Structure 1
Amino acid sequence: MGAVFNTLPLSETENLSNISPNRADWLTSHADATGLAVVEVERLWNRFKQLTGSKDQTKLYPDSSTVANELSNDIFVKNFLKHIPRPKSDISSIPFGTFIIVMQWIDSASVQNKLAAIYHYLNNGEPIDSFMISKLLKHVYRDAKEDEIRALSLQFMQQLGGNDQAKVNMSQFIMGVQRAIPPNELDELLKFDIIPVHLLDEASVLPSLQGSATNIRSIDNFGSNDQVSDEQLRQIANQVANKDWSRLAVTLGFLEYDIESYKVTNGNDSAATMLELLRTWREQSGSTATKSRLKRHLNESGFPELTYILN
């Protein structure tokens, strides 16, 4: 994966590494340098702050303890960050500009290029064997027995065109995955949108931040009355607390792993957990955390009766 990322135009954002995130043009400067929409940069900045555990840290040091909380113990996150290229001026850091360019590549790369990146990610670009697959599967199926892992790894190798003794090269891996998984399903599995397409459509009616070369929308055309308030989030959290509230959490984009973690930190209090999830959703969504969008999520998760709270 490192070999793939090393071809990216990282120089586009190098001159932004010393800009303070407190400056008004922090987001717009990165948007103009990369061609991303401001709302996409805003989403990625919120994700980056999750990684650093800081609101103003512009560089991530993944080899140190600064990677936030449970992310520092996630082997997949650690391996992914390890493969992101580093600037020559500070080889231990990942600047925010580099991070968003890598995310932009993942958003737009072809299926074949993504599979090539995954191949490099799995074994540092070296041929894949059943032993490596077994190691990977142990992290995925933590409760599986050794013989079950062994059987799964052999099945995986056979699907790729190899066997117990052989090693699979990159071409075999790409062809094997494409042969084993239907194209539509593979596209969906590898799909990564910085901002889902329908949200970009919604963002077209919102104002860009001032100072951007791509700011073609007028801030006067947009009122603040569509933003979700704390009181509205609190009412929704209280209303769903005694129901299957996890449906709403999943619809908001949280994984089961995230939900369980929030439950633990909130003492298994359903209302408190849901409120924190809603606040996190609002923070991560930035300017697209609108009433109309939250209404859609309530409808999709089976709580249409609560949309009145957002009127």
Structure 2
Amino acid sequence: MGAILNTLPLKDTDNLSHLSPNRADWLTSHADATGLAVVEVERLWNRFKQLTGSTEHTHLYPDNNALPNELSNDIFVKNLLKHFPRSKADPNSIPFGYFLLVMHWFDEASINDKLSALFIYLNNGDAIDAAMIAKLLKHVYRETKDDDIRLLSNQFMQQLGATDQGRLNMAQFIAGVQRCFAPGELEELLKFEIIPGHILEEANAVPSLQSSSSNLRDNNGIAASDLVTESHMKQIAHQASRRNWTKLAVTLGFLEYDIEAFIAKNNKDSSAALLELLQVWREQEGGLATKRRLKRCLEQSDLQDLAPILN
């Protein structure tokens, strides 16, 4: 994967490494250099801060510094970061600009390119065999017996069309995956959107920033009355906590271990856990934390009867 990602126009962001995130043009400068919209850069800056555990660090040091919270125990996140391009000036670091370019690539890459990168990610570009797949499955199905893991890995290899030697090269892997999945299903599985299309459309209704040359949007154009308030979140948390509210958390973009962490932090108090989760969501989304978006999420989570709270 590293070989693919190192073909990105990394030099276009090198001159941003000295900028402070406190500067007024922090988001717009990175947006212009990467071709992303300012709302996308803002979303990714919030994610980058989660990785560094800091609101000021513009470089991530995945080899030297432990990732915060549950991310430190996620082998897939750690392995993925190993493939990210590193700064020539500071070889141990991933600058924020490089992080943006990689995320942009994940958003726009073709199915073939994504499968090629996935193949390289799995075994550093070497042929895949059943033993390697077994190691991977062991991280996914941690309570499954070794014999069952071996059976699953052999079935995986057979379905993808492994050779008599029981190995898959890149071309065989790509062909096998495309053969096993319907095109639409495969596209959905590999889809990565920095910001979902319907949200970006909402942002596009806001006037562009005059100081920027790319498709940037000014979140200040959204009226304060359109944003979710603390009162809204408290009411939703109180009522939704009595039901299956984890579906709402997933719809808002949180992972299972995020939800478990909020529950543990709040001593299994569902109402308090959901309120904190909503507060984190509002902080991360900034000007995009609108009542309209939260209403849509409530509807998708079978909590549509709570939508009137946001009227």
Normalising TM by the smaller chain, what interval?
A: over 0.9
Instruction: Look up the match of 1:29.
Output: 29
What is the CA–CA distance in structure 1 between the aligned matches of 2:166 and 2:140, rounded to whole Å? 23
Instruction: Check whether the contact 2:38–2:218 (CA below 8 A) recurs between aligned residues.
Output: no
Instruction: Check whether the contact 1:207–1:222 (CA below 8 A) recurs between aligned residues.
Output: no
Identical aligned residues as a percent: 62
Instruction: Look up the match of 2:188.
Output: 188
Gaps of 5+ in 2: none
Q: Residues 1-311 of structure 1: matches in 2 within 5 Å?
A: 1-162=1-162, 165-208=165-208, 211-214=211-214, 222-311=222-311
Letter paired with 1:269: D
Structure 1 window deviating more from structure 2 (157-166 vs 184-193): it is: 157-166
Letter paired with 2:96: F
Deviation, structure 1 residue 205: 2.1
Structure 1 window deviating more from structure 2 (138-147 vs 240-249): it is: 240-249
Gap change, CA 1:243 and 1:250, over 3 Å in 2:
same
Q: Given the two structures, how large is their TM-score scaled by the length of structure 2?
A: 0.95
What is the CA–CA distance in structure 1 between the aligned matches of 2:257 and 2:130, rounded to whole Å? 28
Structure 1 window deviating more from structure 2 (33-42 vs 59-68): it is: 59-68
Deviation, structure 1 residue 207: 4.9
Instruction: Check whether the contact 2:39–2:216 (CA below 8 A) recurs between aligned residues.
Output: no
Cα distance per residue 1:72-131 (max 9 Å; x no partner)? 221100000000010111110000000010000000000000000000100111111111
Gap change, CA 1:150 and 1:226, over 3 Å in 2:
same
Letter paired with 1:94: I
Cα distance per residue 1:212-261 (max 9 Å; x no partner)? 23477688864221111122111211111112211211221222232122
Gap change, CA 1:276 and 1:216, over 3 Å in 2:
closer
Q: Given the two structures, how large is their TM-score scaled by the length of structure 1?
A: 0.95
Structure 1 window deviating more from structure 2 (201-210 vs 268-277): it is: 201-210
Deviation, structure 1 residue 159: 1.5
Letter paired with 1:6: N
Deviation, structure 1 residue 298: 1.4
What is the CA–CA distance in structure 2 between the aligned matches of 1:44 and 1:6, rounded to whole Å? 20
Cα distance per residue 1:175-196 (max 9 Å; x no partner)? 0111111111100000000000
Instruction: Check whether the contact 2:13–2:30 (CA below 8 A) recurs between aligned residues.
Output: yes
**SS class of match (2:15):** helix
Gaps of 5+ in 1: none
What is the CA–CA distance in structure 2 between the aligned matches of 1:207 and 1:50, rounded to whole Å? 29
What is the CA–CA distance in structure 2 between the aligned matches of 1:187 and 1:168, rounded to whole Å? 22
Deviation, structure 1 residue 284: 2.3
Instruction: Check whether the contact 2:60–2:95 (CA below 8 A) recurs between aligned residues.
Output: yes
Kindly report the root-mean-square deviation, in angstroms, between the aligned alpha carbons of the 2 structures.
1.8
Structure 1 window deviating more from structure 2 (103-112 vs 211-220): it is: 211-220
Gap change, CA 1:208 and 1:70, over 3 Å in 2:
farther
Deviation, structure 1 residue 305: 2.4
What is the CA–CA distance in structure 1 between the aligned matches of 2:163 and 2:148, rounded to whole Å? 17
What is the CA–CA distance in structure 2 between the aligned matches of 1:14 and 1:75, rounded to whole Å? 29
Deviation, structure 1 residue 277: 1.2
**SS class of match (2:167):** coil
Instruction: Check whether the contact 1:207–1:219 (CA below 8 A) recurs between aligned residues.
Output: no
What is the CA–CA distance in structure 1 between the aligned matches of 2:26 and 2:303, rounded to whole Å? 37
Deviation, structure 1 residue 266: 1.4
Instruction: Check whether the contact 1:207–1:215 (CA below 8 A) recurs between aligned residues.
Output: no
**SS class of match (1:16):** coil
What is the CA–CA distance in structure 1 between the aligned matches of 2:127 and 2:233, rounded to whole Å? 50
Deviation, structure 1 residue 209: 5.5
